[in-house]
Chains A and B, each alone.
Chain A
Amino acid sequence: MQPQRATRATHTTTTSAPARLVAGRGRFPWNGHFRVATGDACAKAWLAGRVRPAADPVATWKRIEEAVVACSDLAGTNRDVLSQRVWAAVSDHVTCAILVAQDAQGAHVEALNLAGVVAAGPTPRALATAETLGGEGLVRLPSDHPGPFVGWSSRDRLPEMDASALDHATGHVR
């Protein structure tokens, strides 16, 4: 992980966000997608998640707001505690998500219901595939890579996508 400046309960939505998801398909490829950063000086966590999309973006946005409020301003004594609190806060809201948690001792990446995760950045490489992730559930991944970490779900249908391809798929990653 690249060092991040520790601040109290701040949020980020920039393209340098450590945790990202790939866009979906159709007219509203980002319907249901959100990002949030939480934590304090002890530990920080970044989550990119997707709520179940409703028929129209406004109804979906209400679900996103609930998820963001649920995991805003959380704190933990270390990254394990914080990531547990984040998952407890958002598990009722998200269908899939990727989380990066960091403290003074290091960082870890966790994937929920994802089909693949890539460590992007200057030297991208595949971190996990559908086989290693097992398709469902919460999985902790090795994180000896600066990231950012980009995940996708099986619905995104990107079986051929590898690290280098994803690196060039700027239309899919924000």
Chain B
Amino acid sequence: MRPAIAERLEEAGKLEKAQDAGPVYARLCVDAAQDAAAVLEVAARRHPAASWLLDLAERHETVPGTLQLRGASTHASFQVVAWACAARGFVDALVEEGALGRPETAAALLAHGHPSAAVESAARALAANPDCQVVPWLAAVEGPAAEAVIARIVPRVRSRAAAASLERQLTPFPMTRRLVRAALAGLA
């Protein structure tokens, strides 16, 4: 990052105490040009739940939503951010950030009509965090129809730990549970 932008980012921390943070970072993103992503990263860390971040992401981020999802990943607002990203159509970010190992990304995608992306995001979440509770979240969003979506996750599961975790979550979906048990037999 250019020194001038870094200095202004430090100033932004002070400025946003006196005025709305959104316009401060919006201006800074424009001035930062190729360094806009670095500005967004700081903004997402400081304001993970801010709705204005979505607009900035759309204008300045290569994969819009990525930085906000990462910024919110340890924040209570993560679910809200995931839903906001899905509503804005930031599908690629929600798929990739499945690697955060949280179920909200897949659930948000499913809730907004992207079942294939939800499957991919859930598979990444399980790969990153085998204990990730994807089944309850997908079922809460989609109801009984979630079982068909969850069944599509099974062939993408590559680790025994993730398959075993999935199997434990599937008591109310016995058909898919049997599928996972069969898959488990083939996993090292």
Q: Which residues of A does B touch, CB under 8 Å?
A: 11, 13-15, 17, 20, 23, 27-36, 57-58, 60-61, 64-65, 68-69, 174
A-side contacts of B146, CB under 8 Å: 30
What are the residues of chain A within 8 A of B144 when measuring CB–CB? 13-15, 17, 20, 30, 33, 35, 174
> Interface with A: B6-14, B62-70, B117-125, B133-141, which one?
B133-141
Whole-angstrom distance between the alpha carbons of A137 and B135 in the complex? 31
A69 with B142: CB separation less than 8 A = no
**Complex CA distance for A174 and B107, rounded to whole angstroms:** 17
Say whether A30 contacts B143, CB under 8 Å: yes
Are B145 and A65 closer than 8 Å at their CB atoms? no
CB distance from B6 to the nearest CB of A (A): 39
Contact B172 A29 (CB under 8 A): no
Q: Could you write out 5 A-B pairs with CB less than 8 Å apart?
A: A13-B147, A13-B172, A30-B143, A69-B171, A174-B144
Number of interface residues of B (CB under 8 A): 22
Contact in complex: A64, B133 (CB < 8 Å): no
Partner of B142, one of A30, A32, A60: A30
What A residues does B187 contact at CB under 8 A?
A: none
Are A61 and B139 closer than 8 Å at their CB atoms?
yes
Whole-angstrom distance from the CB of A37 to the nearest CB of chain B? 9
Within 8 A of A (CB), among B125-159: 133, 135-137, 139-147
Verify B145–A60 contact, CB threshold 8 A: no
Using known A-B contacts A27-B83, A27-B111, determine if residue A57 contacts B136 with beta carbons closer than 8 Å.
yes
Checking A17, A36, A57, A174 against B172 with a beta-carbon cut-off of 8 angstroms, the contacting residue is A36
A65 touches B171 (CB 8 A): yes
Partner pick for B133 among A13, A36, A61, CB 8 A cutoff: A61
Nearest A-chain residue to B171, judged by Cβ: A65
Contacts of A29 on B, CB cut-off 8 Å?
141, 143
Across the interface, name the chain A residue whose C-beta is closest to B143.
A30
Q: Which residue of A lies closest to B133 (CB)?
A: A58
Q: How far is the CB of B148 from the nearest CB of chain A, in Å?
A: 9
Using A11-B175, A57-B137 as known contacts, list a sample of 17 further A-B pairs with CB atoms less than 8 Å apart, ordered by residue number in A: A13-B147, A14-B144, A15-B144, A17-B144, A29-B141, A29-B143, A30-B139, A30-B140, A30-B143, A32-B140, A57-B136, A58-B136, A60-B140, A64-B172, A68-B172, A174-B142, A174-B143
What distance in Å separates the Cβ of A122 from its nearest Cβ neighbour in chain B? 21
Q: Roughly how many angstroms separate A31 CA and B173 CA in the complex, as a whole number?
A: 15
In the bound complex, residues from chain A placing their C-beta under 8 Å from that of B141 are 27-30
